[in-house]
Amino acid sequence: MSSEKLYGYNGKIIRINLSKKKTVIEEVPRPWLMKYLGGRGLAARYYYEEVGPEIQPFSPENKLFIMTGPLTGAKVWGSSKAHIVTKSPLTNIYTVSNAGGDFGANVKRAGYDGLIIEGRADKPSYISIIDGEVTVRDAESLWGLKVSEAQRAFLEEVGEEKATVACIGPAGEKLSRIASVQVDFPGVRRGGSFGRGGVGAVMGSKNLKGIVAYGSKEVEIADPDKLTEYLRMNISLLKETTGLHTKYGTAQYVDSLYELGAYPLMNFTRTRVEGDLMARLSSRVFREEFVVRDVACFRCPVACGKYAKPRKDDYVNLASKPEYETIWSFGPHCSVFDYDIIVAANHLADDYGLDGISAGYVIGFSMELYEKGIIGKDDLDGLELRFGNGEAVVELTEEIGERKNFGNILAEGVVRAAQAIGRGAEYYAIHVKGMELTAYEPRAFYGMGLAFATSSRGACHNVGGWTIRDELLKPKIDRYAVKGKGILVKTTQDVRGYIDSIGLCTIPRRSLNFTDAPKPDVLKYVIGMELKEDLVTIGERVYCLERLILNREGITRKDDMLPKRLMSEPIPDGPAKGHVLSPEIFNTMLDEYYDARGWTRDGIVSQSIKLALNIP
Ligand code: SF4
């Protein structure tokens, strides 16, 4: 790929310096497109070049790299993804966060592969990208608005109702370290979120309320006829592999993970509850009694988003689109088994611009502290924060969004909150590298523990590797096996590395043959050339580049660890009763993982791997 015409890419990005009020359009170095593909890989490559280890998350020198991949916005199902890479205020290291909806597609269709935002505006501002025209505009009248209000106002401002808005809410403005960037609000439009890692607070630190994008130009496809034919041939495979997502969304996993004893409850203290409590949260109940509308990302027939409406009068106006993770974080993690509460709390998190996983997590964590007497009503302005108090979950979500009362402490994320509380609270903070764990019990399937520990952005089931399929749902390796988990996690991470870099959603990827032995026909039809390398190798390059960045930021083996509780307390009940990820088990898996990666046993990317993968 040299100067010949590009398909699937625009070949250019927007660079906006908010301090200097300067916007330039730059060519993307073409060798980077072949080596890193786009999206997460391309954003990491820019970050490696431009954000040194000394740069603080909230300093103007930190940057937001927002990138699409070659499939983003193309006529391919699942082609919705865009990625943000930045220095995280939650973890103080590199982070990456992705969102669907149609924001990425609109940036791409406006004529750009992405944008880099640097500096800090001297007053609240927003960026408008409408069909190639890029402007930075005044957002003083929008500052302070919640996400749903801001998005409606944005669309009126730009006068293009088909535009997509990616914006922050009050949480991002107030620099909450668990603030998100929300992509359209369900109820306004499609919905989606750059959730994890506090990317919304970085946007807030730049005085940037949001980005509005609209593009009417189709992404140019090298061989549209072959692509159309390929998709026609694979539509039945799409239905077969994503049917449950169409019906239930990611809520489908609530039932199966609970049955397998792999669903952590009440801040990882148990996996079983009495009576019919979990039945109230079944995916069938969710679908039949709460979901009012299916929500689809850009041109995606799967429509796995499930817009749900609470039934109780108090919450009836707080509809939202919870996913498996946020059903857990606002639900059983807090011992709440009530979709009215879960949907309402999720709505508030979205509307304040909070990561619903982290927000729900810190509430459940605080409930355990309350039950143990580490915090009391005096700390909580009178709030009765017992496990199971759904009203308190809703109230505290709002307080976190407002940075009010105890919510001000929780808005800092679990590590800083535990440090501020003291009194032994740190032991109960379940996180890796400062990022809160998600809805998987790693003691019940060991590969997940390794994935959380070695993920490029802290405890993440996506970037770290979603081993659920291979260990639990369609097991090809025993969930308690130690040998083989290092290789499994590495492969899962590398696959995710290339999926995130081509701009594809992971849910329909198998119907397009993007597996761990990919057949990249779709990519070839879009970009018009055969890749010289296997996609999994490119994914490995992306992962190793991220690790190189993390090494530069001080991350080594000492940081690739799980919380002490998960390595010392066995699961007390359920099918995985008695299992614990002891230091011996964990370190054996970690050694195998580093060996499989070709890194040193201290978790450092070796010179030989850098050479083999041709990374800087
Ligand atoms: S499968 Fe779901 S999340 Fe993925 S692009 Fe389609 S609608 Fe969006």
pLDDT tens column, 198-239: 999 999 999 999 999 999 999 999 999 999 999 999 999 999
Domain co-membership, 424 together with 469:
no
What is residue 89's three-state secondary structure?
Answer: coil
Indicate whether 596 belongs to any domain: yes
CB-ligand 1 contact for 295 (6 Å cutoff): no
DSSP H or E stretch at residue 431: strand 431-432
Domain boundary among 405, 429, 453: 429
226 belongs to a structural domain: no
Full-model pTM: 0.97
Q: Which of 429, 461, 495 is the last residue of a domain?
A: 429
Answer yes or no: is the C-beta of 505 below 6 A from any ligand 1 atom.
Answer: yes
| pLDDT reported for residue 185 | 77
Question: pLDDT at position 2, please?
Answer: 53
The CA 193 to ligand 1 mean position distance, Å, reads 12
Cα–Cα distance for residue pair 572/139, rounded to 1 Å: 52
Are 163 and 256 members of one domain? Answer: no
Q: Are residues 82 and 134 in the same domain?
A: yes
Instruction: Among 68, 298, 507, name the best residue to mutate to test ligand 1's pocket (greatest count of ligand atoms within 8 A of Cβ).
Output: 507
CATH no. for residue 383? Answer: 1.10.569.10
Q: How many CB atoms within 10 Å of residue 470? A: 22
- Residue 80 CA: which ligand 1 atom is closest? 5
CB 164 within 8 A of CB 103: yes
Q: What is the pLDDT of residues 561-573, one digit of tens each?
A: 999 999 999 999 9
Ligand 1 centroid, distance to 105 Cα (angstroms)? 13
Instruction: Report the atom number in ligand 1 closest to the C-alpha of 242.
Output: 1
Reported as a single tens digit per residue, the pLDDT across 537-546 is: 999 999 999 9
State the average pLDDT for the chain: 96
127, 136 in Cβ contact below 8 A?
yes
Tokens of 569: 């307390």
The token duo for 55 is: 């740069």
Distance between Cα 99 and ligand 1 center (Å): 10
Is the C-beta atom of 297 inside 6 A of ligand 1? yes
Sign of the CA dihedral running 410, 412, 414, 416: negative
Among 183, 242, 300, which is best to mutate for testing ligand 1, by the most ligand atoms less than 8 A from CB? 300
> Is the CB–ligand 1 distance for residue 511 below 6 Å?
no
Q: Which of 40, 197, 193 is nearest to 114 (CA)?
A: 40
- d(CA 72, CA 106) in angstroms, rounded, equals 9
Cα of 192 vs centre of ligand 1, distance in Å, is 10
Tokens of 380: 């909580």
Would you give the distance in Å from CA 75 to the centre of its chain?
24
The answer to whether residues 65 and 496 touch, using CB atoms and an 8 Å cutoff, is no
- CA dihedral over 465, 470, 473, 478, signed as positive or negative: negative
**According to the model, what pLDDT value does residue 177 have?**
98
Q: Is the CB of 238 under 6 A from ligand 1?
A: no
Please give the Cα distance from 294 to 443 (Å, whole number): 34
Judged on CB neighbours under 10 Å (0-12, 13-18, 19+), 498 is buried
Residue 115's CATH number: 3.60.9.10
**423 lies in the same domain as 456:** no
Q: What is the pLDDT of residue 158?
A: 85
**Residue 300, ligand 1, Cβ within 6 A:** yes
Whose C-alpha lies nearest to ligand 1, atom 2?
A: 304
User: 301 CA to middle of ligand 1, Å?
Assistant: 8
Maximum distance among all Cα pairs of the chain, rounded to whole angstroms? 67
Ligand 1 pocket, residue 80 CB under 6 Å = yes
Q: Ligand 1, residues 68, 194, 297, 514: which to mutate, most atoms within 8 A of Cβ?
A: 297
Measured in Å, residue 296 CA sits from the centre of ligand 1 at 6
> Does the Cβ of 121 fall within 6 Å of ligand 1?
no
Same domain, residue pair 320 and 392 = yes
Q: Is position 223 within any domain? A: no
Q: Tell me if 478 is assigned to some domain.
A: yes
Asked if the structure places residue 171 within a domain, the reply is yes
CB of residue 304 inside a 6 A radius of ligand 1: yes
Q: What is the pLDDT of residues 166-207, one digit of tens each?
A: 999 999 999 999 999 999 877 777 778 999 999 999 999 999
The secondary structure element, H or E, covering residue 300 is: none
Most informative mutation of 76, 246, 304 for ligand 1 (most atoms within 8 A of CB):
304
Beta strand residue intervals within 46-180, DSSP E: 64-68, 82-87, 94-99, 114-118, 125-130, 133-138, 164-167
Task: Tell me the CA–centroid distance for residue 247 and ligand 1, in Å.
Answer: 12
Q: Which two tokens stand for residue 156?
A: 């009126």
Q: Please tell me the total count of domains within the chain.
A: 3
**What span, in angstroms and rounded, lies between the C-alpha atoms of 149 and 142?**
9
d(CA 205, CA 193): 18
Task: List, for the chain, all residue ranges whose pLDDT scores fall below the cut of 70.
Answer: 1-3
The answer to whether the beta carbons of residues 505 and 463 sit under 8 Å apart is no
What is the 97 CA–ligand 1 centroid distance (Å)? 16
Give the distance (Å) from ligand 1 centre to CA of residue 302: 6
Residue 338 within any structural domain of the chain: yes
Q: Could you tell me if 188 and 279 lie in one domain? A: no
Structural domain boundaries enclosing 345:
246-429
What is the number of the ligand 1 atom nearest to the C-alpha of 295?
A: 7
Residue 508 Cβ contacting ligand 1 at under 6 Å: yes
Q: Whose CA is nearest to atom 5 of ligand 1?
A: 78
The rounded Å distance from CA 186 to ligand 1 centre is: 14
Does residue 238 lie in a domain region?
Answer: no
Place of tokens 């070709």: 598
Which of 361, 394, 429 delimits the end of a domain? 429
Residue located nearest, by CA, to atom 8 of ligand 1: 297
At 1 the pLDDT is 52
Q: Tell whether 528 is covered by a domain.
A: yes
460 and 503 both lie in a single domain: yes
Q: Which of 520, 533, 546 is nearest to 8 (CA)?
A: 520
What's the pLDDT at 161? Answer: 82
With a 6 A CB cut-off, is 303 part of the ligand 1 pocket? yes
Q: Is the CB of 507 under 6 A from ligand 1?
A: yes
- Same domain for 446 and 420: no
Report long-range pairs for 47-52 (Cβ below 8 Å, ≥24 apart). Answer: 47/85, 47/86, 47/94, 47/549, 48/545, 48/548, 48/549, 48/616, 50/116, 51/86, 51/87, 51/94, 52/552
Question: Ligand 1 centroid vs 504 CA: distance in angstroms?
Answer: 9
Distance 80 CA to ligand 1 centre (A): 7
Query: Do 482 and 409 reside in the same domain of the chain?
Result: no
Does 152 lie in the same domain as 124? yes
Q: Ligand 1 pocket: which of 72, 245, 248 to mutate (most atoms <8 Å of CB)?
A: 245
Residues 393 and 475 in one domain: no
Handedness of CA 453, 457, 460, 461 (dihedral sign): negative
**Ligand 1 mutation pick, 68, 71, 80, max ligand atoms within 8 A of CB:** 80
In short, whether 72's Cβ falls inside 6 Å of ligand 1 is no
Residues 425 and 449 in one domain: no
